[in-house]
Structure 1
Amino acid sequence: MEATELKTVTDLLHSAEERIELINGEIIKRPMARSEHALIQSNIADEVALFKRKDGLGGWWIMTEISVKYNEHQCPCHDLAGWRKERVPHRPTGIMNVIPDWVCEITSPNHERKDLFHNFILLQRNKVPYYWVISPEDKTLIAYELDNEKYHVTFSIEYGAELTIKKARIPPFAETEIDLQYIFGDD
């Protein structure tokens, strides 16, 4: 049995392929973006834009489709990720080598395992304080917060027509209400 050579971030950077990421030492092609995915990603970016405009305390660098290097064999591309400006005062460039303060993943059909298991474990191990997972197909949002090095659910919702909660304060952006109708494209 032949051992598989793990790929590194250097291999990722030298690849001619596009829409790829490095997961467990393997270069993986990302799924094609669908309108549901793009709409939710755009709408979340709109909802948290207030925090991008602040400097210092309370301000964030929030980026879409950003690659984050956790180690030589782990460099996923997150749908959205954010860094507090008080911790990262200057605008980041290139592949991020700084652990995010918040990551939001939007699941894609047949790729849910990466967001629900792999990223959950990777981010928890690397002590990313906040992790959101959103499913456009199921219209669900689950927000996790790190507590004693383990993720705990701080907010979860299955969005539907009978839902009475239209807005919610979700950590780490609990300072303002997040418009769930807008996020799920029901405005």
Structure 2
Amino acid sequence: MAEPAKKRATYADLEAVPPHLVAEIIDGVLRTHPRPSMRHGLTATSLGDELAGPFQKGRGGPGGWIFVIEPELHLQNHVLVPDIAGWRRERLPVVPKTAFTEVSPDWVCEILSGSTETRDRTVKMRVYAEARVPHLWLIDPRLQLLEAFELDHGRWAKIGAWNSDDNVRVPPFDAISFSLADLWPLDPPLGFNEDPQALYAGDR
């Protein structure tokens, strides 16, 4: 006897999730994870500060972008919450009237943590590719690494990786450069031969 089809998660299921959790719907499955750790949040804030001045406000850069921390994206039948997303202004000229947007970003950044890394690197990368997001960054504050990808004929092509020793100039924000070490101001620079285990304390 065939098993009954599993019920697909609805938006009502997502709204019922307690506020201390981040909720997403991917492939019809409700997925949750804890709110980010302090290190995770500090990395997101620091990156937003590096990008907003030149790219959102036009201070020392070309402007023309809008950035949102943890936006709710409705992409096809999925509901995703990246850590940071950016849109070119011509594609998102006004603030949506809803709490979410169906306009796919021009860039997304996922900040990796213990509870999200596998999902970020697999199903979420696939959904972003299906939604034709052209640029994706993955940042690991524990290992102090940035990996950047560009969409190439529907598949992600890795264009580079950087660590805390580097000043980075990475598409689509290669009009400026910044020190990657500035994304974790309270941590000492981590060399390739150092054990990052201490930086995993409190990681979620």
Q: Which residue does the alignment assign to 2:57?
A: 53
Q: Which runs of 4+ in 1 moved over 4 A?
A: none
Give the number of aligned pairs: 178
Equivalents in 1 of 2:134, 2:178: separation in Å? Answer: 19
The C-alpha deviation readout for 1:25-76, integer Å capped at 9, x for no partner, is 122222232111011100000010121114xx8411100011100123x101
Give the direction of change, closer, same or farther, for the CA distance of 1:92–1:59 in structure 2 (3 Å limit): farther
Q: Which residue does the alignment assign to 1:178?
A: 178
Task: Kindly indicate whether residue 131 of structure 2 is the aligned counterpart of residue 130 of structure 1.
Answer: no
Give the direction of change, closer, same or farther, for the CA distance of 1:135–1:6 in structure 2 (3 Å limit): same
Task: Kindly indicate whether residue 80 of structure 2 is the aligned counterpart of residue 76 of structure 1.
Answer: yes
Query: Which structure 2 segments of 5+ residues have no match?
Result: 189-204
* Kept after mapping to 2: 8 A contact 1:60/1:82: yes
Q: Which residue does the alignment assign to 1:17?
A: 18
Q: Which residue does the alignment assign to 1:86?
A: 90
Q: 1:28 is matched with which residue: 31, 40, 64?
A: 31
Q: Which residue does the alignment assign to 2:44?
A: 41
* Kept after mapping to 1: 8 A contact 2:82/2:109: yes
* Kept after mapping to 1: 8 A contact 2:72/2:80: yes
* Kept after mapping to 1: 8 A contact 2:149/2:157: yes
Shift of 1:17: 2.5
Which SS does the other structure have where 1:133 is aligned?
A: strand
Query: Which structure 1 segments of 5+ residues have no match?
Result: none
* Kept after mapping to 1: 8 A contact 2:76/2:131: no
Task: Kindly indicate whether residue 66 of structure 2 is the aligned counterpart of residue 66 of structure 1.
Answer: no
Which SS does the other structure have where 1:66 is aligned?
A: coil
Give the direction of change, closer, same or farther, for the CA distance of 1:76–1:175 in structure 2 (3 Å limit): same
Letter in 2 for 1:27: L
Equivalents in 1 of 2:34, 2:139: separation in Å? Answer: 16
The C-alpha deviation readout for 1:81-105, integer Å capped at 9, x for no partner, is 0110022222334211101100000
After superposing the two structures, state which structure 1 stretch, 78-87 or 107-116, moved more. Answer: 107-116
Q: Which has the larger radius of gyration?
A: 2
Equivalents in 2 of 1:5, 1:121: separation in Å? Answer: 22
Task: Kindly indicate whether residue 102 of structure 2 is the aligned counterpart of residue 97 of structure 1.
Answer: yes
Give the direction of change, closer, same or farther, for the CA distance of 1:40–1:65 in structure 2 (3 Å limit): same
Q: 2:121 is matched with which residue: 96, 116, 124?
A: 116
Letter in 2 for 1:110: S
The C-alpha deviation readout for 1:85-128, integer Å capped at 9, x for no partner, is 02222233421110110000011113211111111111111110
